[in-house]
Amino acid sequence: MDYDPQELEAEWRARWDAENRYEPDPTDAAAPEDEETTFITVPYPYPSGGMHIGHARTYTVPDVYARYRRQQGDEVLFPMAWHVTGTPIIGAVERLQKREESQMSVLQDTYNVSDDVLEDLETPMGYAHHFIEEHYKKGMRSLGLSIDWRREFTTNDDRYSKFITWQYETLKERDRLEKGLHPVKYCTEQENPVTTHDLLEGEDVEYQEYTLIKFEQGETVVPMATLRPETVRGVTNAYINTDATYVEAAVDGETWLVSAEAAEKLELQDHEVEIRREFAGSEVVGDTVTNPVTGDEIIILPAEFVDPDNATGVVMSVPAHSPDDYLALQEAKADPDRLESYGIDPAEVDAIEPVPILDVEGYGEIPAKDAVESAEITDSTDPELEEVTQDVYNAEFHTGTLHEEYGEYAGEVIEDVRDELATNYREQGAFGAMYDFPEPVVSRAGGKVVVAYQDTWFLTYNDEDWKDAAKRAVERLDTTPENTRGEYTHTIDWLNEWPCIRNYGLGTRLPWDDEFVIEPLSDSTIYMAYYTIAHRLEEIPVEDLDGDFFDALFYGDDAVDGDADERALDLRAEWQYWYPVSQRFSANDLISNHLTFFLFHHAELFDEAQWPEGITIMGMGLLEGEKMSSSKGHVVLPGKAIENYGADTVRFFLLNSAEPWQDYDWRADQVEGVEDQLRRFWNRAQELIGDDAADAAANVDPEGDLEHIDRWLLSKLQTTIDDVTAALDNAETRTASQAAFYGFEEDLKWYRRRADLDRDGAVWTLRHVLETRLRLLAPFVPFLTNELHEQLTGTPAEDAPWPEVDEGWQSPRTETEERQIERLADDVQDILTVTEQNPETIRVYVAADWKREVFETVREVGTDVGQVMGEVMQDPDLRERGDAVNDLVQDLVELVRGVDDDTLAAMSKIDERSTYETAVDFLEREHDAEVAVYAEDDEGIDDPGGKASNAVPFRPAIHIE
């Protein structure tokens, strides 16, 4: 039978469907709590686009684990659902409606959406359903994922919303939610908050919090924005854009002078703003303002480089520490005519000197001057200026120490005191703050995007008692790999309040304030519990799913006043049967949000017994060494890959090329290599499956009819079982599949060379080995292994139990003997390679008995040469041999040092001569030469080359001619 993955895989899919194979229900066992249940989850996909090969791996990793646990005898639940919450799908639909080119390209070219269904995609759920049905579900079924599809749902379903409603009402009752103001990106055109997806320009730009230093001009405040508040004592002058429009406005009861744009932003940032007067910047040029910290009077100079649309539109100049400011000052001084045209006395400007306020290593007294001069920058348009400025800023921030006049902060490093200093002055009223982008940001609607304060509900992840509970959840969690544990605790420490709502998007409305929608990272924290009951909830009318219902379901009878809903209590049994989550598989970049939220919410809402047991994180995928990108069409679709190579090949490649948590790279040439390997495996298996092979094996009594080399292979098989099991227990899919497949293939290669394969014993051995390997490989390549195992034994591999180590076949001695033979073969080969001779006779000389005695001494005494010599020299016979003994001890000490205790024990048991004699046939066959084995101290030894005396225990001398 030829290997035809398409045909064979289709058959098994049909069988699984017909049998409802992966739809577990709680069993009726008397004590269900005694039963081993394994509940495996993975983040539900977000169907804002199609499935690609990266997703295929994300969902195959948990599938392999699920299949492994099933073979180990567990009841395993592996469900799937769809995350549609938030704006990405809505955004995608809008771009589709506008027939945006890039969006059309993704849909039509990358995901092959045909024109006749395009219309169906023009509603959010229509869009989602298309990708769910046509891409994800088809892909997952083709891959052979053992999912219980009865439990499928979307996060936009009414019943799911009822569940989330219950969750958020419960959290509010427990004071884990708080209302407050928060800066958001805001489109001035649409007068609405926007997300990164809504941006046309500046997607990567993050807003920053500027400190406003409130310079004064009489009663008027002239706030100057800076990211370096500690430089307040180094300000020598201010700059204003002469052509821009500025306003005098009442801001929170004070009179402020800022750019017109700034006034608008301040209003959006929760300030009372009333504009009284507009004027050009030039009007105030030449005026002086007072530094609120030092009391110094400084002059406002004209400047074109000041952007009125950045922060307040008025900037302060710190020429000692800012290369930009230093150059600007130089340039101002160089143009007295211009100054005069604004009525400024050039002499006044000429007198301005940089005022250093900190010391920094690697620079002189005036760092900005140093930096500019050593880089030989003379012009503020020099592109190198930016780099130099960054260097100065970095150096000053991390190593700069403040001068004496900073009082309590004197001598401190900027990095350590900047925030404290700014907060301090803010409290005293000298400083203010505002948010703004350092670069222009534009929405897709074409409007300018600014930072606005918005009323928001927060999850209070900063509550200390909640953090403590989350940390306890981490402590009892099994983290894979283990070194990610610290990342969870680190995230918990660092996590602050989390705004959990949005103004629009799909999902569940905030129960008590329905203009808000609960955002995606906040409606996906305990949904794993929903899987346990999702399919049965369908029978219950939506309106019955109120708070009491879920209280009864999750907290039991006592949690509700009056009689609890029987249906809820019934579902509670199934929830308790499956919960907690045994293993959650997720992407490593979700540790800093989703996975930690998952822990927070479980810690808050459920008892410790229901907290997650394990999280395994997964790495990123590359395609031919580059990041996948659906917008660039740089993706491989699972359907296509499966069509080309078969699902088993796809699975095996994805699971075998890297451990789950490592990054992996889909390379077509390597995938083809895997397909070849599987086909080879199939063909070899076929040779062992026919009636002839079965009959041959039936003749064999494994106790009596097997040879040394058969037992060696069976011993290796036990080691492999052990290794694969240990690896899969740790979700090490790569190690496990490597050991079961490639690792053992090496052993088989040797076996085929060494053994006479026509013997019935060999057939029996190979069939036994095949059966065991099929079971070990079943989680990885379920189609192929099921088929072959069924052909071989009558049952599919997935129905066969996981192999256990049979100690009867474990034999360190056999393995050690075989290693000696292998080594001898290698040595012969080496000699032949170097001498390039065609051998006629190969003579092997085993070391003399006295040498073996010395070995035994080393083994007993240990690897201290002096001690061994002391012991050996007690023996008069050995003493006579003098230097020869000394050399031998040196060699043997080296040998013993390199060997573990078990191997050493096995070595002391083996008889070298008879071991090599069993390999005579093999060596003769390999080299087409006569092979003879002698002992060095034999009477009738034939030693034409005089080599025999070179023999050392476990290193026989060899003579070839």
Partner RNA sequence: GCGAGGGUGGCUGAGCUAGGCCAAAAGCGGCGGGCUUAAGACCCGCUCCCGUAGGGGUCCGAGGGUUCGAAUCCCUUCCCUCGCACCA
Q: What residues from 599 to 628 belong to the interface with RNA (CB under 7 A)? A: 620, 627
Q: Look up residue 847 and give its DSSP letter.
A: P
Please state, as a whole number, how many other Cβ atoms lie within 10 Å of the Cβ of residue 881: 16
Contact stretch for RNA (CB under 7 A) within 342-350, 495-503, 628-636, 880-888: 495-503
CB of 560 to RNA, least distance (A): 33
- Judged by CB under 7 A, the chain residues 279 through 318 that form the site for RNA are none
CB of 827 to RNA, least distance (A): 4
Looking at the Cβ atoms of 205 and 540, the one nearer to RNA is 205
Please, what's the b/e burial string for 196-214 (b: 16 or more CB within 10 A of its CB; e: otherwise)? Answer: ebbbeebeebebeebbbbb
CB of 889 to RNA, least distance (A): 14
Query: 1 in helix, strand or coil?
Result: coil
C-beta of residue 606 within 8 angstroms of C-beta of residue 470 = no
CB of 671 to RNA, least distance (A): 10
Among 377, 564, 590, 933, binds RNA (CB under 7 A): 590
Contact stretch for RNA (CB under 7 A) within 252-260, 351-359, 705-713, 819-827: 819-827
Please state, as a whole number, how many other Cβ atoms lie within 10 Å of the Cβ of residue 638: 28
CB of 837 to RNA, least distance (A): 7
Among 157, 519, 747, 936, binds RNA (CB under 7 A): 519
Cα dihedral 550, 555, 558, 559 in deg (nearest 10) = -60
DSSP string, 33-93: GGS-EEEEE-PPP--SS---HHHHHHHHHHHHHHHHHHHTT-EEE-B--B---BSHHHHHH
Between CA 165 and CA 407 the distance in angstroms is 54
Both tokens assigned to 269:
């940032």
Between CA 405 and CA 5 the distance in angstroms is 79
Please state, as a whole number, how many other Cβ atoms lie within 10 Å of the Cβ of residue 90: 19
Contact stretch for RNA (CB under 7 A) within 32-40, 99-107, 310-318, 517-525: 517-525
Binding track over 521-560 against RNA, x by CB under 7 A = x---------------------------------------
Query: 582 in helix, strand or coil?
Result: coil
C-beta of residue 811 within 8 angstroms of C-beta of residue 913 = no
CB of 707 to RNA, least distance (A): 19
Contact stretch for RNA (CB under 7 A) within 378-386, 539-547, 600-608, 746-754: 746-754
CB of 960 to RNA, least distance (A): 4
- Judged by CB under 7 A, the chain residues 670 through 729 that form the site for RNA are 670, 673, 676-677, 680
Among 592, 610, 686, 793, binds RNA (CB under 7 A): 592
End-to-end CA distance of the chain: 48
Does 377 interact with RNA (rule: CB under 7 A)?
no
Looking at the Cβ atoms of 146 and 737, the one nearer to RNA is 737
Contact stretch for RNA (CB under 7 A) within 173-181, 286-294, 829-837, 934-942: 829-837
Beta bridge partners of 237: 299, 317
C-beta of residue 233 within 8 angstroms of C-beta of residue 406 = yes
- Judged by CB under 7 A, the chain residues 893 through 952 that form the site for RNA are 897-900, 903, 945, 947, 950
Among 250, 260, 540, 831, binds RNA (CB under 7 A): 831
Among 593, 610, 793, 886, binds RNA (CB under 7 A): 593
Can you give the length of the chain in residues? 961
Q: How does strand 614-618 pair with strand 478-480?
A: parallel
Looking at the Cβ atoms of 24 and 47, the one nearer to RNA is 47
- Judged by CB under 7 A, the chain residues 245 through 284 that form the site for RNA are none
Does 467 interact with RNA (rule: CB under 7 A)?
no
- Judged by CB under 7 A, the chain residues 84 through 103 that form the site for RNA are 85-88
- Judged by CB under 7 A, the chain residues 9 through 48 that form the site for RNA are 46, 48
State the DSSP H helix or E strand holding residue 585, giving kind and residue range, or none if neither: strand 583-587
Looking at the Cβ atoms of 355 and 492, the one nearer to RNA is 492
Contact stretch for RNA (CB under 7 A) within 424-432, 528-536, 563-571, 834-842: 834-842
Binding track over 378-417 against RNA, x by CB under 7 A = ----------------x---x----------------x--
Contact stretch for RNA (CB under 7 A) within 79-87, 124-132, 290-298, 793-801: 79-87
CB of 832 to RNA, least distance (A): 8
Looking at the Cβ atoms of 118 and 658, the one nearer to RNA is 658
- Judged by CB under 7 A, the chain residues 637 through 666 that form the site for RNA are 657-659, 662, 665
851 — phi, psi (to 5°)?
A: -70, -40
CB of 800 to RNA, least distance (A): 26
Please state, as a whole number, how many other Cβ atoms lie within 10 Å of the Cβ of residue 282: 17
Order across the sheet with 621-623: list the strands: 626-627, 621-623, 664-666
Does 758 interact with RNA (rule: CB under 7 A)?
no
Does 632 interact with RNA (rule: CB under 7 A)?
no
Between CA 665 and CA 212 the distance in angstroms is 49
C-beta of residue 517 within 8 angstroms of C-beta of residue 502 = yes
Does 838 interact with RNA (rule: CB under 7 A)?
no
Please choose, from the candidates 99, 107, 312, the residue with its C-alpha nearest in 3D space to the C-alpha of residue 214.
312
C-beta of residue 380 within 8 angstroms of C-beta of residue 328 = yes
Total chain residues near RNA (CB under 7 A)? 89
Both tokens assigned to 338:
């211009």
DSSP H stretches of helix in 659-808: 668-687, 691-698, 708-729, 733-737, 744-754, 760-777, 782-793
Please state, as a whole number, how many other Cβ atoms lie within 10 Å of the Cβ of residue 718: 19
Query: 353 in helix, strand or coil?
Result: coil
Please, what's the b/e burial string for 657-674 (b: 16 or more CB within 10 A of its CB; e: otherwise)? Answer: bbbbbeebebeeeebeeb
Does 50 interact with RNA (rule: CB under 7 A)?
no
- Considering Cα of 476, then 477, then 480, then 481, what sign does the dihedral take? negative
- Judged by CB under 7 A, the chain residues 122 through 181 that form the site for RNA are none
Among 119, 120, 206, 942, binds RNA (CB under 7 A): 206
Does 490 interact with RNA (rule: CB under 7 A)?
yes
Contact stretch for RNA (CB under 7 A) within 2-10, 111-119, 376-384, 515-523: 515-523
Name residue, tokens 């690792």.
Answer: 743
Please choose, from the candidates 150, 156, 148, the residue with its C-alpha nearest in 3D space to the C-alpha of residue 123.
156
Looking at the Cβ atoms of 355 and 628, the one nearer to RNA is 628
CB of 43 to RNA, least distance (A): 9
Between CA 97 and CA 122 the distance in angstroms is 6
Looking at the Cβ atoms of 373 and 891, the one nearer to RNA is 891
Looking at the Cβ atoms of 218 and 625, the one nearer to RNA is 625
Looking at the Cβ atoms of 250 and 905, the one nearer to RNA is 905
287: amino acid identity, one letter:
D
Does 812 interact with RNA (rule: CB under 7 A)?
no
C-beta of residue 175 within 8 angstroms of C-beta of residue 105 = no
Among 520, 612, 761, 953, binds RNA (CB under 7 A): 520
CB of 177 to RNA, least distance (A): 13
CB of 464 to RNA, least distance (A): 15
Please choose, from the candidates 631, 667, 562, the residue with its C-alpha nearest in 3D space to the C-alpha of residue 106.
631
CB of 508 to RNA, least distance (A): 14
CB of 842 to RNA, least distance (A): 8
* Ramachandran quadrant class, 849 (left: phi over 0; alpha: psi -120 to 50; beta: rest): alpha
